[in-house]
Structure 1
Amino acid sequence: MKPAPFDYVRADSREEVLAQLHEHGDQARIIAGGQSLVPMLNMRLAKPGVLVDVMQVASLSGIEASDAGIRVGAGVRQATLLDWAGRDPRLPLLAKALPWVGHTQTRNRGTVVGSIAHADPSAEQPLCLLTLGGSLQLRHRKKARSIPAAEFFVGMMATARGDTELIESVTFPAAQPGAGYAFGEVARRHGDFAIVACAAVATGEGIRLGVGGVADIPTVRELPLPGASDFDDALNQYAWDLDARDDLHASARYRRELVRRLGRETIEEALRCRN
């Protein structure tokens, strides 16, 4: 299929992007890498009146590092962040999760912020941002705001972004001293969206386990350490609380079992990786 007709604007500045969003509201869509949006356009699941391309906006294309975390601009491609994470000890979870994202070809085009904005519950990058307790920086023509990832995802491919807001960047917190990080997923083929994905952060006090691919949004729960008397019950309850459903890819029962087994494996790996 071919997309419905639309106007195309290649913005040269952040101000131009914001002006287009202000003028066109919910008829405007931001396009960066296009790996999620273009298929939706072709299938006419999305019919925007205007596409605003942000890839020429220099102020949106950088990665800023600090002791507190890594801020990733809206134009940063997934392959760029994967290369960065492989060299930066502050990003161990991303270094493990990003190789699961699509394939080399799609990572060379797709952007980090674009995947998070798309908010597919099976995608790896929203899950990592949520598990790490990250945040998003949004800007309207007249004001800016920061929102925690826990408040950003509100439903199946639905977010708290306003129609006239631009997601300028996302911030991933730096690794905690003494914590361990791990990521794992099960998919039909490598590069497909996950049937279940798990991201874990392990400290001496407990476990933070994020799960994607089951509920309408990625979810995170604090769990006791393995070996505690209530660990198995807590993990089992988490699997049930996600309210898995049958679909073409997997049954609800299979997804619950993956949460239990893959969740435990990911947690145990995170504990082994503690420094």
Structure 2
Amino acid sequence: MKAAAFAYARATSVVNALELLAVHGDKAKVLSGGQSLMPAMNLRLLSPEIVVDIGGLAELRGIAMRGGVLVVGALTRHVDLLRSPEIALHAPLLRDAVSHVAHPAIRNRGTIGGSLAHADPASELPACVVALDATIVARGPTGERRIAATKFFKGIFETALSSDELLVAIEVPVTGQGSTFFFQEYARRHGDYAVVGLAALAVVAAGRFSDLRLGFFAVGDRPLLAAAAGKLVNACVNRGLLAEAAAALTNELDPPEDQQATAAMRRHLATVLLRRCVADLLARPELATGVTK
């Protein structure tokens, strides 16, 4: 299939892009890397009247430390996240997650801002920014506003962005001593959409979690920051407690059922990832099994 007819405008600056969005409102779609938008348009899942291309705006690219916060420009490509020493040092969860995103051709063009604004619930990066407690920076006609990642995703392909706003950056707080991370997903083939995935950030001290953030994806209409993690914080984790957390997680989930997996399978795989995550972060491989005795 081919996309329906649409007008095209190449923004010359962020201000120009915002002017175009103000004129066209929800009839416009923003094009950054195009790796999600163009396939959706070709399948007629989206039919905007105009596409506003921001791909040439160098001011929205780059990775830098500013006052203890890692700032990632919205047009920073996936491949740049993979290669960045700042990401490797301060947000290695993003680096590991990006290696699971599709294939090299897509990673060479796709952008972090495009992935977040697209809000596919099976995508890796939305769950990562939730786990990292990141902040989404949006710019509109009245200036900038900051949105907590946990409040940004509203549903399938739906975010807190207004039709006249542009996602311009992501701010990631730098973690301190003892912080560690985990990323794993189940997919039918490497690069396919995840069946279930988990992006986690933890702080471990004296063999216990002092903080644990579990960002599951492909288990609902948006990334889930699992409340079940609270059972494992400031506690001596054993198989029994982990089984309680797994049961609580199962009750939290409302996964879809589709051609890839049943809801029951997704719940099961999510608990498997929970156990593997805890076992890995605490360096206790015996916790990876579901045996409680």
TM class by smaller structure: over 0.9
AA partner of residue 23 (structure 1): V
- CA drift of 1:96 comes to 1.7
Q: 2:279 aligns with which of 265, 268, 271?
A: 268
For the pair 1:133 / 2:133, whether they are aligned, the reply is: yes
Q: 2:288 corresponds to which residue?
A: none
Aligned to 2:172, the other structure's residue is in SS state strand
Q: 1:181 corresponds to which residue?
A: 181
Q: Describe how 1:90-169 pairs up with structure 2 within 5 A.
A: 90-169=90-169
Q: 2:260 corresponds to which residue?
A: 249
- Contact 2:123–2:194 (CA<8 Å) still a contact in 1? yes
User: Structure 1 CA distance, aligned partners of 2:8 and 2:55?
Assistant: 13
- CA drift of 1:67 comes to 5.4
User: Structure 1 CA distance, aligned partners of 2:90 and 2:66?
Assistant: 9
- CA drift of 1:241 comes to 1.5
The more displaced of 221-230 and 8-17 is: 221-230
Q: 2:213 corresponds to which residue?
A: 208
Deviation beyond 3 Å, 4+ runs, structure 1 = 85-88
- Contact 1:121–1:218 (CA<8 Å) still a contact in 2? yes
- Contact 1:201–1:270 (CA<8 Å) still a contact in 2? no
* Root mean square deviation, CA, Å: 1.8
| TM-score normalized with structure 1 length | 0.94
User: Structure 2 CA distance, aligned partners of 1:232 and 1:253?
Assistant: 17
AA partner of residue 44 (structure 1): R
Q: Describe how 1:192-207 pairs up with structure 2 within 5 A.
A: 192-204=192-204, 205-207=210-212
CA offsets 1:188-208 (integer angstroms, 9 cap, x no match): 110011100011222232422
Note closer, same or farther for the CA distance 1:140–1:86 as it changes in structure 2 (3 Å cut).
Answer: closer
Q: 2:76 corresponds to which residue?
A: 76
- Contact 1:200–1:270 (CA<8 Å) still a contact in 2? no
- Contact 1:200–1:267 (CA<8 Å) still a contact in 2? no
- Contact 2:78–2:111 (CA<8 Å) still a contact in 1? yes
CA offsets 1:102-122 (integer angstroms, 9 cap, x no match): 111110010011001111111
Q: 1:5 corresponds to which residue?
A: 5
How many residues of Structure 1 are paired with residues of Structure 2 in the alignment?
Answer: 273
User: Structure 2 CA distance, aligned partners of 1:84 and 1:199?
Assistant: 19
Percent identical: 37
The more displaced of 50-59 and 65-74 is: 65-74
User: Structure 1 CA distance, aligned partners of 2:24 and 2:121?
Assistant: 28
CA offsets 1:104-160 (integer angstroms, 9 cap, x no match): 111001001100111111100000000111011111122210000111111111111
| TM-score normalized with structure 2 length | 0.88
User: Structure 2 CA distance, aligned partners of 1:36 and 1:3?
Assistant: 13
User: Structure 2 CA distance, aligned partners of 1:78 and 1:272?
Assistant: 30
User: Structure 2 CA distance, aligned partners of 1:87 and 1:170?
Assistant: 12
User: Structure 1 CA distance, aligned partners of 2:160 and 2:104?
Assistant: 30
User: Structure 2 CA distance, aligned partners of 1:158 and 1:270?
Assistant: 32
The more displaced of 71-80 and 218-227 is: 218-227
AA partner of residue 201 (structure 2): V
Aligned to 1:195, the other structure's residue is in SS state strand
- CA drift of 1:187 comes to 0.4
Q: Larger relative CO (CA 8 A, sep 6+): 1 or 2?
A: 1
CA offsets 1:60-97 (integer angstroms, 9 cap, x no match): 12222235332111221110111115863111211221
